[in-house]
Structure 1
Amino acid sequence: MDEYPIIDLSHLLPAAQGLARLPADERIQRLRADRWIGYPRAVEALNRLEALYAWPNKQRMPNLLLVGPTNNGKSMIVEKFRRTHPASSDADQEHIPVLVVQMPSEPSVIRFYVALLAAMGAPLRPRPRLPEMEQLALALL
């Protein structure tokens, strides 16, 4: 007799049956992976982000602030949106349609610009001055 009994998985969808038959370590890795769950408010936020993304350029662009309790999916919404609009490279430049920046735990204008420029892959001097960082960020954006 086999050391593993045959388990009836007919109550699962075919895709889930395949996952259930994976080795334990692989199933655990899959369970721990980030996963998009399109609950109504998340889908609404994504739709609003898409509308803003398609907005024609003008002097004062509209914006969106995502606010919610910790572990409520804000970062996942932003990450899903970023993945939908991936960066691309040409011979002489990189195009980053969606730039994601995490605010420092103790934010300041300088720390914001450092995080923004780092997210763009811009070189930074050891002790940059605020006006220089602001001009560099505006030029790169």
Structure 2
Amino acid sequence: MNIVSLFLITLASTTVMTLFSYGFSCLVHQNLVEPYWLNRLLFKREGWRSPYGWITHYITGIGFLYLIDLLRNYFSFPQYLEILIFGGLEGGLGILMWILLFWFSKPSETFDRQRYYLNLLIAHIFFAATALALL
């Protein structure tokens, strides 16, 4: 995969994932958007305008894209199963990463972590679907 493809597929996949998180946030009336929480917990910045959370989110997307590409070299499933399996694995990995971040950062007690983890799992399935469609 060349650098331009890597960039464009990561951009598309991470954006689709983030759009899902926006939509789910509206549905459940709780902010579940990853860059927002990265800004608050990792960089101690309030709001959406700080670029640090966004940059971190998209750079992490590069790693997740490479993981999908690596898994595709070792496992062959029908595409719908690849989406569910790879997206589920990445969602699980993402949840573990966030569990660690929450453990170190202590968000407010009113934050529903279980709902956030559900969002992450589904959002990574959207990420995998987009990435696999473009790879």
TM-score normalised according to structure 2 size: 0.28
Write 1 or 2 for the structure with the bigger share of helix: 2
TM-score normalised according to structure 1 size: 0.27
Comparing both chains, which one has the higher relative contact order based on Cα–Cα distances under 8 Å and sequence gaps of 6 or more? Answer: 2
Structure 1 or 2, whichever has the larger Rg, is: 1
